[in-house]
Structure 1
Amino acid sequence: MMLALTFATAALLGAEPSNLPPNHPPVPPGMSASPAAPGGELPQGHPPFAGGGDTPAAKGPLPAGHPPMSETGRAPPSAEELLKQLDSTEGLRTREKTFEIASSLGKLYYSNGRTADSVMYFLQAEEKAVKTRALYLEQRKKLGKKPVPSAEEAQCGFAANAPVEDMGKVAEERAKKGDAAGAAACARAALEPVIEVEVLRANALYLSGDTQGALTVYGRVLEVVPSHEEALFSRSAVLYETKGEDVKALQAAHEGFQAFVAMHPDSPRADLAKQLSQFAEDTAKAGGRQKWKQARAEDRRVRLSQPLPPQRPMEATPPPQAAAGAGGMPALTQEMVDAIQNTERTPELEAGLAKLVEEGEEHLARGRYDEALAAYRRVVPFQPENGRAKAGMAWAMVGLGRPMADRIWGVAVSSDAAAVEKLGDTLQARGDERGAKALWTKLLSSAPDYPNKANLQAKANP
């Protein structure tokens, strides 16, 4: 990407005629270049090059470890150098640009944290495809319920790096010939990089504080690609986060999260989308976030006003091993238990717990068992029935060789063996093939009557 940005910058800086020699670095605004001396000599007053010669040596291989050089004989500029050069270029913002140059500039500013500056360039890029976007929606409407064919099926003939505007012209020609399917297919292919730019602009607007603008642009993306993963999740998340008192917006967020799960069930964010979908629906049913919080507070007050059931004798005095903590795990005092039970289960808390489980799985896949165990310890007290968390905690203790590992493993397997098997799938997907097979092998020996035993054996011993 940096190479493309370099080319885009070079194209912009070289768009105006110059009297500089070939490969001469650009002259900052407000300064002028000395006239070139005849015969390739250095201009008068030019500092001499090291080594006593008039020109620098340019032959032979580069020294070991030297950064790669561009065709100009200079090292490619860093992002910071590019930004400084662009910021000092007069008329850059208003200068006419192709889609590719405008989008490259937007990505450069966006990827370096200057989201507000990126918005303008993204918008300039999108303007190059306004006609193509309108054409696509028109031709898709003509197709009715028929699917839009791919660019290959429609034989659009686009090269991998075909310019957006050229692809749009091909779609226009197809439309003029009455080929609605071909026009829609070619226009859709032309819009692929435009959609990426629209998503980035929506993100930039949100990060710059313009949430309504972000929602509008996410909606534009979904108008073209209703199943777009990033736009679908982000629009729903922004609605839920910023429209807490708007029941219609909350219902839209709920429906958006549901659609995300249905269309992208294997996404890493699928579980989080399910939780947020439920939170959005509950909040909408309550009449808004404030009313939902009031209802939760009242439920909590009623629950705390009810007397706790009397303890059985076995519970009154825990055994020494439990008091010390299983396998080195810190014991929970009665005050800690009460604090956990009385903690309000807010959407933020639930989302945070889900993130901790994901972090724990990543630690397990990388063999960081201590870090994984620390993450699961923060989850299980709040979600003691979470099979996924219990499976992760058990495997972390097995990896650490803790004295209580087998006991905790047995609890995890007996309560939710399917969650233990799925943890192996997660480890495998994250690159820990060896750990996954070891987990499945241990599960086979721990649960001889496992209902999915044949499939489990096939995974453990492929």
Structure 2
Amino acid sequence: MNLSLALATAALLAAEPSSLPPGHPPVPPGTEASPTAPSMGGGSALPQGHPPLEGDTPPVSPDALPSGHPPLSGTGKAPPSADELLRQLDSTEGLKGREKTFEIAASLGRLYYVNGRNVDADTYLQQAEARAKPVRDLFLAQKKKLGKTPVPTAEAAKCGFTPGQPLEAMGQVASERAKKGDAAGAAACARAALEPVLETGVMRANALYLGGDSAAALVAYGAVLEVEPRHEEALYGRASVLFETKGEDLAALKQAHEGFEAVQAINPNSPRAATAKRMSTLVDETVKAGGRTKLLASRAEDRRIRLSQSLAAAPQKDELRPLTKEMVDAVQNTERTPELEQGLTKLVEEGEEHLSKGRYQEALGNYTRVVPFQPENGRAKAGMAWALVGLGRPMAARVWGVAVQSDPAAVERLGDMLLEKGDAKGAKALWEKLSSDAPEYNKTGLQAKLSR
């Protein structure tokens, strides 16, 4: 047989019933499902400065807890799980509307974020950013006064900050410097104070994107980059969202390309650098093609041509030949566009028309073009198997057996289709063979059809 038939038959025979839901992406061989919840180790879910709750922790006075913190259920016990803590927070009346420090709001936002509660996370992270706004505004104003002069480090400016110092206190130091006309010192101290705010900003941008608001996410990433243009995570996040959501906007794609390039330049040893390099190349190709739609169309056409050339050069023998890696890759990598899916459906319908008229060779030609792309398509498998039976091909028994075992209902429906198209003789022959080869399948229904 020709190699297109070999490709279709090999794909069909290799197909195994899947336990995944319809439309689920394939799971690579050897991959095991292992759902995990975000780790809350190290007490990171608790607000900054919260006393540890380990082992024989001494009793904690309610007065020592931050304002609005849910009451502890006891003392000397293991810390609550993330779910328990979230339930306590959710049940605390008026918590969202209460006044909070930056640290408390940021900690609450982080807790909701790492547990997939993106809308709630945004609420608290936004409150944290609001508390940080005076320091942010101060930094931008003092940086503008400096012009092209670099902002010194907090150490060089002798800000005197200590670990864990609240944002408000650090902001006050920067404000005092600004009042004295020390723009460099004020900018340095304000920038150091904003370090946790930048982390919060990226987290909020991520939460917004995951919550489906990509436009707001881009604004949030931009706010971080306004303070720190070389912020690696913000650059990478913004570039990724631009590429994901603005695939036809060439200006946005060029901005994404610049972002991925910057990530590589800032930290070549970063875990993101290799991915940023690949993404930069892909974005560049997309821009040159004129947008994502044109790029995908071009790639699909290239693969179609390569596949057609491989099939045309195949030997015409009635046996399965080993498939080349190029052929397998061409099929697996072909973009599953709506146009391709519609074309495959039309080929199946034409194949059924050929079967009803006894044109088995023509029908087989249609099905061998469909099965490599849709090896689990029961309708196509049934049609291909019946075409091979009609032609009396040596591999007909094997292919028919696969079709009957994997989807006997599809084989039965093929008989219904033949009958509808006027091929009563073909329909009866198909049902008789199905009844003989699958004696346990729909005995009553098939017998009723054969008795007509």
The interval holding the TM-score normalised by the smaller chain is 0.5 to 0.7
- TM-score normalised to structure 2 length: 0.56
Among candidates 236, 254, 257, match of residue 260 of structure 2: 257
* Aligned residue number for residue 88 of structure 2: 85
* Aligned residue number for residue 215 of structure 2: 212
- Aligned residue identity for 1:138: A
Contact 1:2 1:79 in 2 (8 A): no
Among candidates 331, 334, 341, match of residue 323 of structure 2: 334
* Aligned residue number for residue 188 of structure 1: 191
**TM-superposed deviation, 1:215:** 1.0
* Aligned residue number for residue 155 of structure 1: 158
- Aligned residue identity for 1:200: M
- Structure 2 distance, partners of 1:345, 1:134, is 51
**TM-superposed deviation, 1:221:** 0.8
Question: Which SS does the other structure have where 1:153 is aligned?
Answer: coil
Contact 2:263 2:272 in 1 (8 A): no
* Aligned residue number for residue 107 of structure 2: 104
- Aligned residue identity for 1:161: G
- Structure 2 distance, partners of 1:14, 1:232, is 34
**TM-superposed deviation, 1:142:** 1.7
Contact 2:45 2:108 in 1 (8 A): no
* Aligned residue number for residue 277 of structure 2: 274
**CA separation of 1:13 and 1:170: change in aligned 2, threshold 3 A:** closer
**TM-superposed deviation, 1:345:** 7.7
Where does structure 1 lack aligned partners over 5 or more consecutive residues? 17-22, 27-69, 312-331, 347-462
- Structure 2 distance, partners of 1:334, 1:112, is 46
- Provide the aligned C-alpha RMSD in A: 3.0
**TM-superposed deviation, 1:83:** 1.3
**Stretch moving more, 251-260 or 332-341:** 332-341
- Aligned residue identity for 2:43: M
- Aligned residue identity for 1:208: G
1:143 equivalent to 2:184? Answer no
- Structure 2 distance, partners of 1:282, 1:5, is 45
- Aligned residue identity for 1:267: S
Write out per-residue CA displacement over residues 400-443 of structure 1, whole angstroms, 9 at most, x where no aligned residue.
Answer: xxxxxxxxxxxxxxxxxxxxxxxxxxxxxxxxxxxxxxxxxxxx
- Structure 2 distance, partners of 1:301, 1:273, is 29
- Structure 2 distance, partners of 1:24, 1:119, is 24
Contact 1:119 1:204 in 2 (8 A): yes
- Structure 2 distance, partners of 1:204, 1:11, is 32
- Aligned residue identity for 1:300: R
Contact 2:153 2:188 in 1 (8 A): yes
1:285 equivalent to 2:274? Answer no
Contact 1:8 1:105 in 2 (8 A): no
- TM-score normalised to structure 1 length: 0.55
**CA separation of 1:305 and 1:146: change in aligned 2, threshold 3 A:** same
**CA separation of 1:336 and 1:78: change in aligned 2, threshold 3 A:** same
- Structure 2 distance, partners of 1:337, 1:127, is 56
**TM-superposed deviation, 1:79:** 2.1
Contact 1:140 1:148 in 2 (8 A): yes
Write out per-residue CA displacement over residues 222-245 of structure 1, whole angstroms, 9 at most, x where no aligned residue.
Answer: 111111111111111111111111
* Aligned residue number for residue 43 of structure 2: 2
- Structure 1 distance, partners of 2:279, 2:146, is 35
**TM-superposed deviation, 1:293:** 1.5
Where does structure 2 lack aligned partners over 5 or more consecutive residues? 1-41, 52-61, 315-320, 336-452
